[in-house]
Amino acid sequence: MALAAALAVLTVAVPAAAAPLPGEIVHTETVSMSDGAPITVGFTEWPVRALQSLDFTFEPAGGIDGRTGLVTTVSPSGDRKGLKGIVLQRRGDAIVLPRHPRAKQVWGLDVVSLPEEGTWRFEFAVERAGVTSTGVLPVQAIVQPGPPLGVSWTIALLPWAPVAVLVAGGWVRTRTIRRGARPSWSG
Amino acid sequence: MSSELPHIPRREVTGAWVLLLGYATLLTGMVWDGQWHGDVGPDDFWTAPHLLLYAGTGIIGITCLTVVLLSTWARGAATSTPSVTVWRTFRAPWPFLVGGLGASGNLLYAGSDLWWHEVYGFDIAAGATPSHFGLGLSIQVEIFAMIMAFAVLRRTRAERWGLALAIGLATLGSTSAFGMVSEMIFEWLPGVAPRVLGLGAAAALILSLVIGLTRSWHWPAATGLTFVLVQGGLSLFAPAATRWYAEAIGQPMRDYAANMPQALIGFPVTYPLVALLAGGMTAWAVRRAVNPVRIAVAAGALAGLNTALFYGVLGILEMNLVVTLVAATALGAGTGWLGWQCAVMLRRFSERGLSVPRAVTA
């Protein structure tokens, strides 16, 4: 009786499909697919800022078992490989979606960023039993955090300007030494 | 080299070996960090690979500071290594001044990198960041300092093997700065993989530098051996350490992370063959009294060619093989010439050790 009660509590307590990354997903979007089985896209940052890292989860209705997910990330300037990522498998321009490392029940991309500000297009294709369904999600990347990139680059490169001048000056000053050294194998 | 051994104070000899240890630590951390970024993804800024990287920088910085202070307070004859007097007080032998500046720059850019990752997160795939660019250049300065320190020595067989090991470490380690700089400079070239040009130039510069410094077939060939040790050792270490560390802190591996050693594709594994070939060319040229500058240029071109062929066959970079092959070979030849010129200057470091000690004021 006690065992049955405990099982009943467990059955109630654990939902059939736990939401991925509880406490981390702060926003979701639903993508309508051509076969009528939508994909829920989860974001760990919202709004998405250009250049700022975040995790995405992609959860097709009915789960990922037996399905292959592909997403082509088109940047605002038209780069069809806009999202780079470090260890990604690609089929043409499309990323073959991996399972999210901390939520293996769904597909996901961890520690990635959208490098350009503007409207991105995530073009989805889900393959199941030889049938492919498609859908598109526009993702708005707002202005990047921090100072403008030009300022960051200028500050980072500034210390190297005197180094370049010193090295160039030293190179010119030692020209006589270098030209005076007779090329030989001795020594 | 003259049969008379130049006098080099013990502090500089010990300092050179500790610089080598510091840079080996730094490079181990850097390669491990690369493997971690690919297979697992960072937990935060203070990961074990990052700590190892900065521990190496700390060793280099403290070593340089110690050698400069000991040189300043030393009694008797000043060091025979070309030195600079800084702020009319500190006597700094060049290799340790350069190493100290590189380590200081490294730590400053580490601070900016911490800020960068707090603001933007840890995605580093979208391209070089300003802080990573500064870190890469600072580390390259530390690499040059280590080579300079051993270029001064070269008196005993152990010291020459020290140079060979330093070169082996420097060859793999130079991929970072040279890769980033070439991506910045050559991005506009159609059909070319800029990174291939950078890595080819690094290989060419260092190989011809060794030929010019040692003027013997043994040491270019020996750097091929030390490179195998460095690349092989790190290829064994980094994936295992990444797996172990991920388990230790409860981080899962990524789905497509094959845990394959990234160090094997970070620089051509075929490079040791080029080093051996350069050794053979040197032996032939010594016998035939061929102009050594030609051999340095040819070795550089060969290093560039090898880099383009390796990545062309590997197919992981987008490039037109023929265009990249021609560009990498030409750049390799030019950098080979540059390496020879640098060697001419560095040889004067140890030759001057035979003459009266002098110091310049900065």
Average pLDDT score, chain A: 90
Q: Which pair of tokens denotes residue B58?
A: 């700390």
> Is B259's Cβ below 8 Å from some Cβ in A?
no
For residue B344, give every residue at least 6 positions away whose Cβ sits within 8 Å of its Cβ, in sequence order, or none. Answer: A177, A178, A181, B212
Instruction: Check pLDDT > 70 for residue B2.
Output: no
DSSP letters for B197-210: HHHHHHHHHHHHHH
pLDDT confidence bin for B4, thresholds 50/70/90: low
Chain B: give the shortest CA distance to residue A30, in Å: 24
Nearest of B278, B26, B261, B295 to residue B138 by alpha carbon = B26
Tally of structural domains, chain B: 1
Chain B residues with CB under 8 Å of A86 CB are: 37-38, 41, 124-125
pLDDT tens-place string over residues B188-222: 888 999 999 999 999 999 999 999 999 999 999 99
- Indicate whether B3 belongs to any domain: no
Nearest chain B residue to A158, by CA: B134
- The reported pLDDT for the residue numbered B317 is 87
Q: How confident is the model at residue B359 (pLDDT cuts 50, 70, 90)?
A: very low
Distance of alpha carbon A78 from alpha carbon A88, whole angstroms:
20
Q: For B194, what's the count of Cα atoms within 13 Å in the CB-facing half-sphere?
A: 16
Residue B84 forms contact with A (CB below 8 Å): no
- Distance CA(A41)–CA(B253), nearest Å, equals 22
| DSSP-derived secondary structure for B71-104 | HHH--SSPPSS-EEEETTTEEEEHHHHHHHHHHH
d(CA A108, CA A47): 18
Question: Domain for residue B285, yes or no?
Answer: yes
B206 Cβ neighbours under 8 A, 6+ residues apart: B167, B170, B171, B174, B223, B339
**Is the pLDDT higher at A5 or at A175?**
A175
Whether the pLDDT of residue A14 is over 70: the answer is: no
CA A153, CA B78: separation in Å to the nearest integer? 42
A94 alpha carbon, distance to own chain's centre: 13
Q: Provide the token pair at B317.
A: 């970079």
pTM to 2 decimal places = 0.91
Q: How far apart are CA B300 and CA B294, in angstroms?
A: 10
Is residue B240's pLDDT more than 80? yes
- Dump pLDDT digits (tens) for B269-324: 999 999 999 999 999 999 999 999 999 999 999 999 999 999 999 988 889 999 99
pLDDT at A154: 97
Q: Report the residue of chain B nearest A44, measured CA to CA.
A: B121
Query: Is B1 domain-assigned?
Result: no
Across the interface, whether the CB atoms of A52 and B285 are under 8 A apart is answered no
What is the per-residue pLDDT for B354? 46
**Domain enclosing residue B276, as ranges:** 10-361
Average pLDDT over residues B28-45: 91
pLDDT at residue number B1: 42
Q: Report pLDDT digits (tens) over A137-170.
A: 999 999 999 999 999 999 999 999 999 999 999 9
The number of angstroms, rounded, from the C-alpha of B341 to the middle of its chain's C-alpha atoms is 18
- Distance in Å, alpha carbon of A1 to nearest chain B alpha carbon: 38
Phi, psi of A143 (to 5 degrees): -55, 145
How much of chain A exceeds pLDDT 90, in percent? 77
Of B170, B168, B167, B199, the closest CA to residue B183 belongs to B199
* Cα B76 to chain centroid, rounded: 34
Assess if residue B159 is contained within a domain: yes
As a whole number of Å, the CA-based R_g of chain B is 21
Beta bridge partners of B359: B83
Q: How many CB atoms lie within 10 A of CB A175?
A: 10
- Band of residue B81 on the pLDDT scale cut at 50, 70, 90: confident
> For residue B350, is it within any domain?
yes
CB A56, CB A90: distance < 8 Å: no
Contacts of B39 in chain A (CB under 8 A): 87
For residue B42, being part of any structural domain is answered with yes
Per-residue b or e along A136-145, where b marks 16 or more CB atoms closer than 10 Å to that residue's CB: ebebebeebe
CB crowding A56-73: b at 16 or more within 10 Å, else e: bbbbbeeebeebebbbbb
Disruptive mutation site among B120, B184, B216, B338 for chain A (greatest number of A CBs within 10 Å): B120
pLDDT for A31 equals: 97
Using the predicted structure, report yes or no on whether residue B23 has a pLDDT greater than 70: yes
Partner-chain contact A146 B119, CB within 8 Å: yes
Nearest chain A Cα distance for residue B193, angstroms: 16
Residue A6 reports pLDDT greater than 60: no
Residue B93 lies in a domain: yes
User: Band of the pLDDT at A92, cuts 50, 70, 90?
Assistant: very high
Asked whether the beta carbons of A44 and A24 are under 8 A apart, the reply is yes
pLDDT at A80: 95
Q: What is the mean pLDDT of residues A93-116?
A: 95
| Surface-to-core class of residue B311, CB atoms within 10 Å of its CB (0-12 exposed, 13-18 middle, 19+ buried) | buried
Q: Is B159 in contact with B20 (CB distance < 8 Å)?
A: no
- Closest among B201, B187, B192, B176 to B318, alpha carbons compared: B192
Rounded CA-CA distance B127/A75 in Å is 15
- Tokens at residue B176, please? 């970072």
User: Tokens 């700022």 map to which residue?
Assistant: A52
Q: What is the pLDDT of residue B236?
A: 97
Single-letter amino acid, residue B213: L
Q: Residue A71 to residues A68, A94, A105, B168: CA-CA distances in angstroms?
A: 10, 5, 18, 41
Distance CA A75, CA A67 (A): 26
B5 falls within a domain: no
Rounded mean pLDDT, A120-136: 96
CB atoms B121 and A87 under 8 Å: no
At B230, which amino acid appears? V
pLDDT at A1 exceeding the cut of 60? no
Average pLDDT, chain B: 91
